[in-house]
Amino acid sequence: MTAMRPILFATDGSPSAAEAQKEAFELAQRLDAPLVVVSVVLTVLPAVGYAGYGYSNIVSELTLAERHRVSELLASVEEVAVAMGIHCTTVAVEGFAVEEICRKAGEYDAQLIVVGSHGWGAARRFLSGSVSTGLVHSAPCPVLVVRPREQADLHEAAA
């Protein structure tokens, strides 16, 4: 790994992303590498079956609220990074998480993607998908998947 190419940290603001943030910040500091923080604005749609009057207004308001949430999240992460002396760039994107994160990793020529894992089981991953699994299979660079601390501790105890 080189200091000139950035580390890309993908976050959704979840507790598992907080664990990954610690790892991304530590790596950026140790390598003296810039950090690119990416968060995907998720399109939120009301319950299936509702298409009555005002539906487009509801979708618009939910999307605006999600953009605001992502903007606040990125500002918060950047504030912590700058306080730690890490050069940080933030990027909000819209679309499918895996595709957009991979696209940004390619655009920034990232040397590594750091992402959290929710620690879901196989059935829930099958139904909901897994961004971390998708990144491992599709990313243009290595991917570090940070597991939740409790899950990692349980896995070590079982070994």
Q: For 28-47, what is each residue's pLDDT tens digit?
A: 999 999 999 999 998 766 66
pLDDT number for residue 57: 80
CA angle 98, 18, 66 (to 5 degrees): 55
pLDDT number for residue 53: 66
Task: State pTM to two decimals.
Answer: 0.83
Query: How many Cβ atoms are within 10 Å of 55's Cβ, its own excluded?
Result: 12
Contact 105, 8 (CB under 8 A): yes
Which sign does the torsion angle of CA 94, 96, 98, 104 carry? negative
Contacts (Cβ under 8 Å, ≥6 apart) of 122: none
The separation between CA 121 and the C-alpha centre of its own chain, rounded to angstroms, equals 19
pLDDT number for residue 128: 42
